Structure formats: structure tokens, C-alpha cells
Amino acid sequence: MNIPTPCVCILFLSPVASLVASPTPTSPRRVAVVGAGIGGLALARALQTLDTGVEEVAVFDRRSELKPGVGGGIQINGGAAVLARLGLGEQMKASALPVRRILSRKSGGFELLDIDVESLVSAEPALVAPDGTPQAFSIMRDALQRILADSLPVGTVRLGQRLESLREDDAGVELLFEGGAAERFDLVVGADGLSSRVREHVAASHAAEGGGGATPPEYSGIRVQFGVVPAGGARPAGSEGEFHQWFGEGVYALTGSYGTGAADGATSDMVAVVFADRAAGSAAPPENSNWEASDVREDCVGRLRRAGIPAEVVSVAEQCERCFELGVYEHDATAPWVSRGGRAVLLGDAAHAMAPFLGQGANQAIQDGYCLADRLAAARAGGLAARVMGPLQSYALLRRAPVTALQLESRLLGAMETAGGGAGTLPQFVRDAFFLANGKLGVAAQVFVKGARPWV
Ligand SMILES: Cc1cc2nc3c(=O)[nH]c(=O)nc-3n(C[C@H](O)[C@H](O)[C@H](O)COP(=O)(O)OP(=O)(O)OC[C@H]3O[C@@H](n4cnc5c(N)ncnc54)[C@H](O)[C@@H]3O)c2cc1C
């Protein structure tokens, strides 16, 4: 299709026009990061590792401690490759489990697809460390958070500090915390997740100039129940390093094992059960609607049994000690990431929260952090793009396209995985045909590698 030249010019120039207007300092010296999740901590590590000229980084989090034993497990691939560049490759290798295979079957055992992750990743140069280690791991989120926090100078992470609001002016930005404390910085980065205060500020700054207003997270109508067996041992022998996906009646279940960072190499097991929310359409439930382990466990086991999911999955759910249920939310990734005044910028879930079905949320948050630090380093070195449009806009321009594509792909997968779940969902035969065809044609493997490849 031919796009008329004037349209191309408008497409190109409209973001650039707003970029040039931004008065962002090319070399901020004091940077505040709001949020000590994976994205915020990875950014702090990158700011202190690359030649950014940043002299002081403070990472604030509303939580009073980075508590072990919270949350579930994640897959890390492109994010691991980037962390290796930041000197954390050895820690990842020692703390995580290598991922070798993803095997998808119908509840009766019929195989839909089988992805040889180890071979695929080994054939992708950007995903192989200099020592030959393929960068595809599974790790508990708290273990990864600990690796990142421990890599920062003491005092960088400041806990028990809930950001209430911020005030931006030409000289910098003032952060106002619960309890009345205030502190000024040259730049603030909102790595504060789904309910981001910094995102609200960025949206308001554009609304004040006649741009769009706040864009609250959108509920997808899909829910996930998680069950973690911290001591592991709940899955069939020999399945470590393999993710098993099962498709039943209106239910999709995934089991996997994850490194915990423990010195003895202990692993945890996890089951994730995905289903369509029959009540969706009425008011969206709160972000985390159920953290009560026993309620979720009972509901999850019943759901798996009714869907005919095999005993190897039900057994993990029955043994889980930490069980919780989350609604899947997204943030509109096309909304502004940089405030009008150029002193506030977003990353990770605050910028582009995505459905978890490609396992890319944490991977992309890490890449955001690296890219932002890299753009600040480029601006300091006098790089052209960073000089013309400023480092923040250069970062947003580079990151927006890959994360938007991943967001759409994850959404499609979510629709497929919840097929057969009642009104508004796709029929199951469409789902089965989709996964079977994509497996046979090698499309699923390509989608995995494209998502896993680092884009920075
Ligand atoms: C069901 C599910 C499964 C997932 N599976 C995977 C996977 O397999 N692989 C993968 O890569 N990703 C996965 N993800 C996504 C991943 O967990 C996140 O996308 C990723 O960790 C990026 O997080 P973040 O650092 O941007 O934000 P978060 O991890 O949400 O961190 C935000 C931080 O900000 C703090 N904060 C919030 N508000 C304030 C405030 N006002 N003041 C101070 N601090 C504040 C919070 O306490 C928190 O510590 C999954 C997500 C879900 C929901």
C-alpha cells in the first residue's frame, strides 16, 4: 500500500514537533525513580553503570520492605541479556533456572505445540552470553528484585516513601511524599506500576496544554489465579526447565519451576490458571481482587477439575501455599510517556502494562531502563538523536513501537487462551486450530524469539 507523502511527513513530524518543545535537561545530575519493582531497580543499575553523568539516584517505594516470598515467578530472556550487559549475568545464572522447552497440550493429552526454547535461543546471537549461556531463565520475582537491589550502592533504595504528588517547573521537579516530606530532583522516572502517580502527572501536564487527559488502566476481562509451592517438588520428575501449558474447557493452565536464588539451588513450582471473567462488562474489579490463599486454592482446584485438566496440574494447585488472583489490566502505550515540562518520564508497567501471556512485562521494563540510561549517556556524548529531540523523547520513540506490538500480540494470545469460556469468548476449535497451525508452521517459535530478542 502506498501512503501519500504528506501523511508520512505528518506522521513523522508530529511526534518530533512535541519532542523539540521539551526542555528536558540533557544531563540530569539528580534522578528520582519512583518504584522499586523490576523496572525501577533495573533503571537505577543502568544509570549507575553507563556513562550517564548522573551523580545521584534515589529509588523510592511505598512498601516498607522488599519482602521475600511475595508474588510469583517470571520468565526472563531479553531482560536477562540486558542485565548481563549491566554486569549481572553471573548472578542470574546462579539464581535462575534455564528454560528448555514449552509444551502445549489439550486436557486429553493431544499435543498442540512443542517449542524447543534451548535450541531457538542458542541460535539467536543477541540471546547468548559471551560464555555461551543461553539467556532464557525462569526466576521468582522476589529473587530477581533482590539481585537488582543488592547490586545498588547502600542507601539508593528508600523504602516506606509513598509518592503523593509532584510539582514540575523549569528548574526541576519536586516530589511530595505521604507524611509531608518533599525533595527536589532534576528528573523523575515513574516506574510505579499500574496505578502510577507519575503517569497521572504526565497526563495532567498534557491536558493542561489542551492534550489528552488521564488514561486509567483498562480491564481486559481476563483473570489469572496463581499458586506457588515455595519448596518445589510438586511437578513430575524431570520437568524442571519445561513449561507445560494445558488447554481445557474455557480454562488455560501453565505449570513451571523457577529459581529462587537460594544458595542450595532450591526451586519453587507455580501454576497459573487463566479464565474469562463472566462478570466483566459490569464494574471492573480492583487490581488484585483476592489475596486469600485458601479461597483461591479451593476455587482454582475446582476450576481445573471441571475443565478436565490433568492431575499433574491439579496436584500443584492443591499443594500451593501462596495463592492469589489478579485481573489482567493494560495501559494505553500510545499515551504520552514524557511530561510537557520534560522533567518526568514513565517506564515499565506505568507506561505500557501488558497482558502477561507472552511473559514480556518484566523483560520490557528492564529494556526500558537500559534504553533510558543509554539515551542519557548518548546525549552526554553529544549523540545526534538525543541532541535534536532530547534523551527522554529519543527513549520514548525507540521503545514505543516494540512494546505496542508485544501488547497487541499478548492481547491476541489472551483471547485465544480463554476460548470456550462463555459469552464473548472465541469457540474452542478456533483456539485449538490456531495453536496447532502456529506450532506446525513454526510461527509460535518465531513469535517467541521475536518477543525474547532484546530491542535495545
Ligand atoms: C499475571 C502476571 C504474570 C506475569 N508474568 C510475567 C512473566 O512471566 N515474565 C515477565 O517478564 N513479566 C511478567 N509479568 C509482568 C511483570 O510482573 C511486570 O510487568 C514487571 O515486573 C514490570 O514491573 P514494573 O517495575 O514496571 O512495576 P511493578 O513491578 O508494578 O513495580 C512498581 C513499584 O512501584 C511501587 N509504587 C507504586 N506506587 C507508588 C507510589 N505512589 N509511591 C512509591 N512507590 C510506589 C510499588 O510498590 C512497586 O514496588 C506478569 C504480570 C502479571 C500480572
Task: Look at residue 382 in the predicted model and tell me its pLDDT.
Answer: 85
For strands 101-106 and 242-248, give the pairing: parallel
Looking at the predicted structure, is the pLDDT value of residue 8 above 90?
Answer: no
Q: Is the CB of 197 under 6 A from ligand 1?
A: yes
> 252 lies in a domain?
no
Q: Give residue 289's pLDDT band: very low, low, confident or very high (50, 70, 90).
A: low
Looking at the predicted structure, is the pLDDT value of residue 370 above 50?
Answer: yes
211-227, pLDDT tens digit by residue? 777 788 999 999 999 99
Q: Is the CB of 361 under 6 A from ligand 1?
A: yes
Task: Look at residue 157 in the predicted model and tell me its pLDDT.
Answer: 98
The alpha helices in 22-76, defined as continuous H runs, are 38-49
> 246 lies in a domain?
no
Looking at the predicted structure, is the pLDDT value of residue 7 above 60?
Answer: no
Q: What is the percentage of the chain residues whose pLDDT exceeds 70? A: 92
Stretch 32-59: mean pLDDT: 97
Centroid of ligand 1 to alpha carbon of 306 (angstroms): 31
Residue, of 71 and 154, whose pLDDT is higher: 154
The CATH number linked to 355 is 3.50.50.60
Q: Give residue 424's pLDDT band: very low, low, confident or very high (50, 70, 90).
A: confident
Centroid of ligand 1 to alpha carbon of 76 (angstroms): 14
Mean pLDDT score of the chain: 90
> 167 lies in a domain?
yes
Stretch 14-25: mean pLDDT: 46
Distances (CA, A) of 138 to 115, 147, 193, 448: 16, 14, 21, 15
Centroid of ligand 1 to alpha carbon of 79 (angstroms): 14
Q: Is the CB of 89 under 6 A from ligand 1?
A: no
Where do the DSSP E strands lie in 107-240? 111-116, 137-140, 157-159, 163-169, 172-177, 182-185, 187-190, 218-229
Parent domain of 82: 21-218+330-452
Task: Look at residue 425 in the predicted model and tell me its pLDDT.
Answer: 87
133-181, pLDDT tens digit by residue? 999 999 999 999 999 999 999 999 999 999 999 999 999 999 999 999 9
> 278 lies in a domain?
no
Centroid of ligand 1 to alpha carbon of 271 (angstroms): 19
Centroid of ligand 1 to alpha carbon of 217 (angstroms): 13
> 279 lies in a domain?
no
> 267 lies in a domain?
no
Q: For residues 383 and 71, what is the distance between their CA atoms, to the nearest angstrom?
A: 40
Of 91, 97, 4, 87, nearest to 46 by C-alpha is 87
Total structural domains in the chain?
1
Q: CA dihedral defined by 433, 437, 443, 447, rounded to 10 degrees? A: 20
254-279, pLDDT tens digit by residue? 999 999 999 999 999 999 999 998 77
Considering only CA atoms, which residue is closest to atom 1 of ligand 1?
356
Identity at 93, one-letter amino acid code: K
For strands 172-177 and 163-169, give the pairing: antiparallel
25-44, pLDDT tens digit by residue? 668 999 999 999 999 999 99
Where do the DSSP E strands lie in 235-368? 242-248, 251-259, 267-276, 322-330, 344-346
Q: For residues 95 and 118, what is the distance between their CA atoms, to the nearest angstrom?
A: 18
DSSP string, 100-140: -EEEEEETTS-EEEEEEHHHHHHT-GGGB-TTS-B--EEEE
Task: Look at residue 5 in the predicted model and tell me its pLDDT.
Answer: 37
Q: Give residue 16's pLDDT band: very low, low, confident or very high (50, 70, 90).
A: very low
Looking at the predicted structure, is the pLDDT value of residue 11 above 60?
Answer: no
Contact 348, 335 (CB under 8 A): no
Q: For residues 242 and 401, what is the distance between their CA atoms, to the nearest angstrom?
A: 30
Q: Is the CB of 58 under 6 A from ligand 1?
A: no
Residue, of 420 and 202, whose pLDDT is higher: 202
Considering only CA atoms, which residue is closest to atom 19 of ligand 1?
361
432-443, pLDDT tens digit by residue? 999 999 999 999
Task: Look at residue 290 in the predicted model and tell me its pLDDT.
Answer: 66
Q: Is the CB of 365 under 6 A from ligand 1?
A: yes
Stretch 339-360: mean pLDDT: 96
Q: What is the percentage of the chain residues whose pLDDT exceeds 90? A: 80
Looking at the predicted structure, is the pLDDT value of residue 22 above 70?
Answer: no
Q: Give residue 250's pLDDT band: very low, low, confident or very high (50, 70, 90).
A: confident
> 15 lies in a domain?
no
Task: Look at residue 284 in the predicted model and tell me its pLDDT.
Answer: 67
Q: Tally helices (H) and strands (E) across the chain.
A: 15, 18
Identity at 436, one-letter amino acid code: L
Centroid of ligand 1 to alpha carbon of 75 (angstroms): 14
Task: Look at residue 313 in the predicted model and tell me its pLDDT.
Answer: 97
Looking at the predicted structure, is the pLDDT value of residue 23 above 90?
Answer: no
Residue, of 240 and 294, whose pLDDT is higher: 240
Contact 196, 345 (CB under 8 A): no
Q: Is the CB of 35 under 6 A from ligand 1?
A: yes
> 418 lies in a domain?
yes
Task: Look at residue 9 in the predicted model and tell me its pLDDT.
Answer: 38
User: Hunting for cell 475443565 — which residue is that?
Assistant: 307
Task: Look at residue 108 in the predicted model and tell me its pLDDT.
Answer: 94
Q: Return the minimum-mean-pLDDT range out of 18-22, 39-43, 244-248, 400-404.
A: 18-22
Centroid of ligand 1 to alpha carbon of 353 (angstroms): 8
Contact 145, 66 (CB under 8 A): yes
Nine cell digits for residue 76:
526472563
